[in-house]
Amino acid sequence: MIAAALLVPIAGQARADDDVTKMTASEIVGAITEGKMTAQEVAEASLAVAQEKSGLNAFITLDRSRALAEARNVDQRIAASGASGPLAGVPIVVKDNILVSGLRATAGTPGLDSFVPTRTAPVAQRLLDNGAVLIGKTNMHELAFGITSNNAAYGAVGNAVAPDRFAGGSSGGTATAIAAGMAAAGLGTDTGGSVRIPAALNGLVGLRPTTGRYPSEGIVPISSTRDTAGPMARTVADVALLDAVITQGDVNLDGVDLATVRLGVPEELVANLSPGVKASFDDALATLEEAGVTLVPVKMDDIMRMSGEAGFPIALYEVKRDLTAFLADRAPDRTLDGLVAAIASPDVKGVFDNAVMGENGVPDEVYRKAVDTLRPAMQEAYRTLFAENTLDAIVFPTTPLEAQPIEGSDETVTLNGEAVPTFEAFIRNTDPGSILGVPGVTLPIATTEEGLPVGLELDGAADGDRRLLAIALAVEGVVGE
């Protein structure tokens, strides 16, 4: 429960449903620009929740003074000219591997604990330039190399719905902060599912845009082939708004008649689901059919095989190259060897020691096959799948199982009675789209009997982000949680 002191009136008198920390970004913008609340009131409410729920460990850096100063600037601009940006006063959070000038950017690792950049990443700057108010930098899986956000250096991020469960990762802090009411929207990064997985596990909407659609400068990298920033929020409309601001495009989405939509249902991505995820997803498909959507069973066996062969070699080869280049440009007093030596999380340290550094790194010929042969073949097979089946998108559960307990889940989780590797289990459905470089959006469709969120993902054609968001908006209208 949010304390009564955090309720802000939006229509004259305070009401029980006037809790600003549960409002959408669009509602907040409307209320502020209409003079029904101030950006400072919104920021204060968000900061109060962040303090109240600090046990979730969503933040690495919470900056109260900066947030309030930014909020007052928004109020002053509105008072002076009536002008306001499309995100006027919206409280946001930014994952701690995305640089913001004047705030430390740790990427969740001790080797960058005192790194304070002097330039803001363009993807974050565009939100701030359009009126967003930054509440703080969020916790994450160390160096973005994991899906639980159980960080040995800065602590585990608790799930906003069930604090003893993990938040997902690697953008777990961003998801938890939004879902818990500390912000209305935020930025994560996604290399194999790191926006979509935590969004799904916390009951949010999250977008992985087409690779290269968002500026990548000023983000601590893993893989230039696979990395992208991505927005999270409570609704598809809010995510579409952030997407439009970041890409400097039209904020409006075209209307979609679900009776004209054809969605492929990949056999490989709907197999071996937990009972709760399977029941929720089956119900969602039935609802979509009732709404007129044409569901087309498809197979992606070749795409999945090539994904398995290409994914790790690309990421593990490029992190050595790309992270070295990032440090040389932005933090020249630090080296990759020094960064790796200071890694605190055993799972991340193991990856770097055993699969990245020195003679254990990916051989050139293995990388070249993955990036020059397998990935283009995957992309061609994906285009063919869409063309031969006249698909608008494919649809599947974002993760095969719901959020699992923080304790005991670093290495394995139990899926249908079998112990399976945690990382591989949770990225199974999201990783192929990351390698393909296509847009994917997750939205909440249900909660299990235990009250845990379940996400449904739609993946579209490359560069079809706005069309995919329009479809997601229509889908949300009939199956959204």
Question: pLDDT tens for residues 244-261?
Answer: 999 999 999 999 999 999
Catalytic residue among 26, 46, 149, 170: 170
CB atoms within 10 A of CB 308: 15
Check whether 481 has a pLDDT greater than 90: no
- Tell me the three state secondary structure of residue 206: strand
Is residue 7 very low, low, confident or very high in pLDDT (cuts 50, 70, 90)? very low
Residue 3 domain-assigned?
no
Q: Report which DSSP code applies to 110.
A: G
Q: What is the per-residue pLDDT for 147?
A: 98
Residue 4 domain-assigned?
no
The closest alpha carbon to 96, from 165, 25, 169, belongs to: 169
List Cα–Cα distances, 221 to 18, 37, 431, 436, 466, in angstroms: 40, 39, 17, 18, 25
Work out the angle at residue 379's Cα, subtended by the Cα atoms of residues 207 and 308, and round it to the nearest 5 degrees.
85
Q: Which two tokens stand for residue 213?
A: 């659609």
Check whether 9 has a pLDDT greater than 50: no
Check whether 2 has a pLDDT greater than 80: no
The mean pLDDT value for 182-189 works out to 98
Digit-coded pLDDT (tens) for 290-314? 999 999 999 999 999 999 999 999 9
Digit-coded pLDDT (tens) for 11-21? 332 323 468 99
The mean pLDDT value for 49-57 works out to 98
Domain extent, residue 26, equals 20-481
Residue 12 domain-assigned?
no
What total number of domains does the chain contain?
A: 1
Residue 31 domain-assigned?
yes
Q: What is the per-residue pLDDT for 55?
A: 98
Residue 14 domain-assigned?
no
The mean pLDDT value for 332-343 works out to 98
Is residue 328 very low, low, confident or very high in pLDDT (cuts 50, 70, 90)? very high
The closest alpha carbon to 477, from 205, 269, 271, belongs to: 205
Digit-coded pLDDT (tens) for 125-162? 999 999 999 999 999 999 999 999 999 999 999 999 99
Q: What is the per-residue pLDDT for 480?
A: 75
Cis bond leading into 171, ω under 30°?
no
Q: What is the per-residue pLDDT for 327?
A: 98
- Is residue 95 part of the annotated active site? The answer reads yes
Side-chain half-sphere CA neighbours of 310 within 13 A: 29
- Tell me the three state secondary structure of residue 59: strand
The mean pLDDT value for 410-429 works out to 98
Q: What is the DSSP string of 388-412?
A: HHT-SEEEEESSSS---BSTT-SSE
Are 58 and 182 a contacting pair, CB within 8 Å? yes
As a whole number of Å, the CA-based R_g of the chain is: 21
Q: What is the per-residue pLDDT for 377?
A: 98
- Tell me the three state secondary structure of residue 458: strand
- Tell me the three state secondary structure of residue 128: helix
- Is residue 280 part of the annotated active site? The answer reads no
Catalytic residue among 46, 53, 84, 95: 95
Check whether 6 has a pLDDT greater than 90: no
List Cα–Cα distances, 444 to 233, 344, 417, in angstroms: 11, 33, 25
Are 174 and 186 a contacting pair, CB within 8 Å? yes
The structure tokens 């479809």 sit at 471
Is residue 1 very low, low, confident or very high in pLDDT (cuts 50, 70, 90)? very low
Q: Give the whole-angstrom CA distance, residue 148 versus residue 168.
A: 4
Side-chain half-sphere CA neighbours of 196 within 13 A: 32
- Is residue 194 part of the annotated active site? The answer reads yes
Residue 11 domain-assigned?
no
User: What residues are paired with 440 via a beta bridge?
Assistant: 208, 459
Are 43 and 87 a contacting pair, CB within 8 Å? no
Digit-coded pLDDT (tens) for 207-234? 999 999 999 999 999 999 999 999 999 9
Q: Which two tokens stand for residue 311?
A: 């994914």
Q: What is the per-residue pLDDT for 13?
A: 29
Q: What is the per-residue pLDDT for 17?
A: 46
The mean pLDDT value for 63-81 works out to 96
Residue 305 domain-assigned?
yes
Residue 1 domain-assigned?
no
Q: What CATH number is attached to the domain comprising 122? A: 3.90.1300.10
Q: Report which DSSP code applies to 209.
A: P
Q: What is the per-residue pLDDT for 18?
A: 66
The mean pLDDT value for 405-430 works out to 98
- Tell me the three state secondary structure of residue 309: helix
Distance of CA 341 to the CA centre of its chain: 28
Contacts for 39-42: CB closer than 8 Å, 24+ residues apart: 39/71, 39/72, 39/74, 39/75, 39/78, 39/88, 39/89, 39/133, 40/68, 40/71, 40/72, 40/75, 41/8, 42/8, 42/71, 42/89, 42/90, 42/91, 42/133
Q: In 54-190, where do the E strands start and end?
A: 59-62, 91-95, 133-138, 150-151, 155-156, 185-190
Mean pLDDT over each residue of the chain, to the nearest integer: 95
The structure tokens 């949680």 sit at 481
Catalytic residue among 46, 84, 171, 194: 194
The mean pLDDT value for 343-370 works out to 97
Q: What are phi and psi of 455, to 5 degrees?
A: -110, 145
Per DSSP, the chain holds a count of helices (H) and strands (E) of 16, 15
Q: Note the maximum CA span of the chain.
A: 67
Q: What is the per-residue pLDDT for 84?
A: 78
The sign of the torsion formed by the CA atoms of 431, 435, 436, 439 equals positive
Are 393 and 440 a contacting pair, CB within 8 Å? no
